[in-house]
Structure 1
Amino acid sequence: MVDAETLLVGWLSSWLEGEEQPGTVSTETPAGFETQLPWIQVVRIGGGYDGFRLDRPEIDVDAYAADGVAAAALALRIQQALHDGLARTATGGAVVTAVDTITGPHQVPHDNPALRRYTATYQFTLHPQ
């Protein structure tokens, strides 16, 4: 079985290197991360596994930035990159056959007034390479 969070953190980290403003991708948001924006958090929230090879993880992807415009723009670029760049590829020891947007990017509140967060939920269809 492929660890979908690890796969997505690696893929998004590589993708982010090519972006105008580099940032960090992880499964956690450590204390003080608002000084290191933009930040992308990846968290598996569910999804099915057939017990053999096929995994269909549902993953929340949170885009953090200093303001709402930047967070929204990052979330939309992530969505486009996942559909155009990750779907139908082999990466990180897995074949990603599909990427579906379950809930599109939208703003959600955050306790820290120094940042804004946009979140989206995606379902991936993948299996080991």
Structure 2
Amino acid sequence: FPTLNACYARCGRFVKNKCKLPVQDLGLCSQNGERYMFDRMEKKCKNYTGCDHHGIGFYTQKECIDTCENPVDKRCLPDPNLKYCKPRDDVFYRYDQKEGKCFLDHDYRCPGRNGFVFEEECNRICAKRK
């Protein structure tokens, strides 16, 4: 590619972290749509109009903000491996993204990625986003 922006324009959808992509013209087409891109210099999501055939923009402002301005700590994400844990006597607090709060989980008795011993710790790390 002649430039880095040309590379991102063509292959941006394969980039794992869209927040690091440079803000660029999304190009015009017959069905322009509203898209959002993260401006690293200003550290905020900005609205752009264009095609975004290559998947480099975010479809909603919320998606852009949640991903780039206020990312979720990985410890707050659901753990798909909990179903394989061996039962223990311990119980853990988990963060529920839909509810936006921590709860005491009596079903899965192993820590996993989203398991906190103390409710205060869960709230401090995860529920602060609400």
**Is the pair's TM-score, using the shorter chain for normalization, greater than 0.5?**
no
| Greater fraction strand | 1
Question: Which interval holds the TM-score relative to the shorter structure?
Answer: under 0.3
